[in-house]
Amino acid sequence: MKQTKVEVCKKHGITRDVLNSAQNAGVNIWNDEDLKKHLGGRRHRIAKDAVIKPESKQDQALLANETTEQSIEQIERLLIGSMDIDNIKIYHEKLKALKVGLQVRMQTRELLPAGEVKEDMIRIASAARSELLKFSNDFSPRLEGLTAAKIQSIIHEEMTRILTNLSNAQHKLYQ
C-alpha cells in the first residue's frame, strides 16, 4: 500500500512545506532512509509560535522571576536543564546576544578586565606609598624649628599636592 504525503509527514514529524522542500532538493521522499538522511542534515529553526516552557519547578521559579535582565548563570542553568530544542535555541540566542553586548562594553572600555584593574590599583597604591615615604623623608629636616601652625600649613599643602597628583594619575588610567 502506497503512503500519502500526509502519512510521510506524520511519520517523520515534519510539515508539508518541509517535505516539499526535500522533494524539490532532489530527495526521494518515499524512501525513509533518504528522507531521514536529508532531515538529519537540516538546521533546526525555532518555531514561530515557540515560547519557553519550563521543564522543572526550578525552571518555573527562574522564569517567574524573569526580569528584563537575566544573568548569564540563569540562562546557562535553564539551557543545561532544557530538553526542548526550541528552548535550547532561544537560550543559545540570548547567550549570543549577551556575548555581543559584553564585547561592545569591553571595546568602549565600559567594562575592564579584572587583571588590568588589579595592575592599575597596585600601581596607584605603589605610587601613593612612595610619595608618602618621600614626604616623610624630605620634610622632617625642613620642618625643624617652625611653629606648629606653620608645620600644619606646610603638611596640608604638601598632602594636597600629593593626593591631587595621585588623583590625576588615576583619572588618566581609565580614559
Q: Which long-range contacts (CB under 8 A, 24 or more apart) does 60-66 make?
A: none
Note whether 118 and 89 are same-domain residues: no
- Specify burial of residue 122 (Cβ count, 10 A radius: 0-12, 13-18, 19+): exposed
Note whether 120 and 165 are same-domain residues: yes
Domain membership flag for residue 48: no
From 52, 58, 62, 40, select the one nearest 88 (Cα to Cα): 52
Note whether 81 and 121 are same-domain residues: no
Number of CB atoms found within 10 A of residue 19's CB: 19
Question: Ranked by mean pLDDT, which of 40-54, 70-84, 152-166 comes out on top?
Answer: 152-166
Q: Which domain holds residue 118?
A: 114-173
Domain membership flag for residue 32: yes
pTM of the model: 0.43
The yes-or-no verdict on residue 120 having pLDDT over 70 is: yes
pLDDT given for residue 24 in this prediction? 92
Note whether 138 and 100 are same-domain residues: no
Query: Based on the structure, what is the number of domains in the chain?
Result: 3
Note whether 125 and 145 are same-domain residues: yes
Domain membership flag for residue 86: yes
Note whether 156 and 126 are same-domain residues: yes
Residue with cell string 624649628: 145
Cα–Cα distance measured from residue 62 to residue 70, given in angstroms and rounded to the nearest whole number: 9
- For the stretch 5-39, pLDDT in tens is 888 888 888 888 888 988 998 989 888 888 888 88
Domain membership flag for residue 162: yes
- For the stretch 137-166, pLDDT in tens is 887 777 788 888 888 888 898 889 888 888
Note whether 122 and 100 are same-domain residues: no
> Sign (positive/negative) of CA torsion 122, 125, 127, 130?
negative
Note whether 153 and 131 are same-domain residues: yes
Domain membership flag for residue 83: yes
